[in-house]
Chain A
Amino acid sequence: MTPERHSYLDAPYGLKAWLLTKDHKRIAMLYLISITIFFALGGFFAAGIRLELLTPKGDLLTPDLYNKFFSMHGVIMVFFFLVPSIPATLGNFLMPIMVGAKDLAFPRINLISWYLYVIGGLIALTVLAMGGIDTGWTFYTPYSTIGSSTNVSLAIIGVFVAGFSSILTGFNFIVTVHRMRAPGMTWFRLPLFVWANYATSLVMILGTPVVAITLCMVAAERTLHLGIFDPKLGGDPVLFQHLFWFYSHPAVYIMILPGMGVMSELVAAMSRKQIFGYSFVAASSLAIAILGFLVWGHHLFVSSQSIYAGMVFSIITMLVAVPSAVKTFNWAATMYKGSVSWESPTYWVVGFMGLFLVGGLTGLFLASMGLDIHLHDTYFVVAHFHYIMVGGAIMAYMGGLHFWWPKMTGKLYNESLAKVSAILVFVGFNLTFGPQFIVGYLGMPRRYHTYPDEFQVWNVASTLGASILGMGYMLAFTYLVYSIFKGEAAPANPWGAKGLEWTTTSPPPTFNFDVDPVVDEPAYNYNPTGKGVHVG
């Protein structure tokens, strides 16, 4: 049996030790638990939406309740699941280890960020208990300021607090990457997961405060009558849209960049090969982060924004697609002449590549202004962003969870069930959102709970897909939780992968390394002499 050892999971022992921990790995696990709860809640609302949409009439939920369902689905999934997901769980766990440090730069602030997340979440649950909000997660004025009679201001406080949590995570990552790298770990030896989270953190710290103040303005208009967006006072409701999307567009890059970082790690590890074009992939993360700040107006093409502004936003949006394409080609090229293993993480990788590809490519339709006139605010948009956020980000998150599960928990999960889960998710996902492209092109608007009869067949297919998708996730949850209690003990390096995290035990000791690392080789150095790696 394994000799007695103290990993970060066993020592120190006790609930208080966990709730007052400064260990980034424990904080990552705390986040994992709380994020999963919110994912389930967001999924519940999604189920309600899809059930209602089985029939063209509004027969399951009242109009107001349906509006609350999609609003809560959006708020929870965006602010309480997707934005923190990879950075707060995998990022928190791996960033210090990957740079060769004992912890993040500011461990106590890391813990505070988790508590802020929890407080924000409790506020959101309170709003839910008080009836929820019905403004959509986008809070467009004037509806959110003068139209809605739900608890908008309290919801805004919840989002504000959760946003502050993500700012703290981002700022911790930035200082860690700048100041905590082990000797020999130069910038261009960093794993691409670190580059991706670094770029994400830049977006987090620059964008989140803007949505924070914008939502404060909405709350101020509701509670203090400071009518900044009120047309009767000369205000412009479209100004809200500009300020809101200035964050919320980069926010979608917060959601996908870490996923791309996970992909780079998994593709390299599963192919046992150096990532093709390392510096291009690293640079593309930064390019996406920077360009992502310059495209917000593509959400406003039909909002009365000027044609010329629209043109600028459209062309830059086209440009931001290019670095993503570059990454995709680089990943595919990495597999060329690799040693590719079809273990379970690969299923998630291949699934991601297919789905992210479709999602990213369908963005081109929307970036093209003339087409966007037709497609804006239809199900085409809903399908596009779900392909990226669920087909892309969540597949990457699941792939990363699986890949690093042995490292984080010290246990191995059931490989066959993992493959089944990946397939269920892939098939279910496509069936859910593929038809939505079609029904959107045919004209079905978003946020509708009743619709013309001719759209029903697509909606039924979509709901069927959603059930399969849900089953895939529930299966994953089941075998992953089971593995914690009954799984086989994991060796230090079950995949035979390169990376500092695989040089330490599974799970790692509290201070990550028994011996302080010194780095003298590039990342993904699978082939220094052509000899193999040591697995186990």
Chain B
Amino acid sequence: MSWAEWWWRLALVARIGEREHRAANPWRISLTTTWPRSLLQCLFFTVLGRVLGGEPGQAYAFIGSIAIVIALFTLGEMCDVPMRDRWSATFYRLRSGRIPVPMLYAVRAWPIVAEAALVGLCCTIVVGLLTGQGELTLQLLTLFPVYLLLVFTSAAAGLAAAAVGLFGRAGADVIIANLGLYLIIAASGALIPPGRLGWLDTLGAVLPMSHGLRAIRGQLAGQPWLIELLLEVVIGACWAAAGIVAYSVLVSRVRRTDHDKVT
């Protein structure tokens, strides 16, 4: 394929991804249910931080809550992208297509990635102002590019984990999506500071978002942050590589055996 044909095909995939996403989540539903849920979840964890640790606790939880809201989309909803092929029994058409499956899913997932970034931004502004943290909100807005990095690293992890949902038992996608979300809540340092539980820290080290959150907190506190940011990039790249390997292996297995659960 020429470059022009590649771009044309990928643009088509992106368009299909947008249509699929909007068919399942029309704007009126997103704006009246999904977005308010995200705002309220961010508000809940932020106020909970205040209950547990006063104003410092609130500020700590607010920074992490934005990441949790992003994960709602990039980990919670990402499984739906490949799962739609399982529900519609259309995977066999993808695996016989010319665009590699991992690339196809990555492009098709763009509306979820975009919505995660947009909702994360809204939560930063709305919840920050509602909880009287104007100064911190402004600081976080200047650091929002780091949150954008977290959107991509967590989306890579979400898409890689979704491979298990695609070929696992019925309902495996629900477990995978929720496991990812609750791991981010408990082990990424979003709400529980590092150093409280050794095994949580070990788990958090390989999760997306944990190093990025440390980088954000480091920047706010005037401490070194670049290494944590680079570690976040590395972790994101590792998850992306895991996703590419997982889908490639699955596709090759299905091609070899011509027998899969998703067709």
Report whether chain A binds chain B. Answer: no
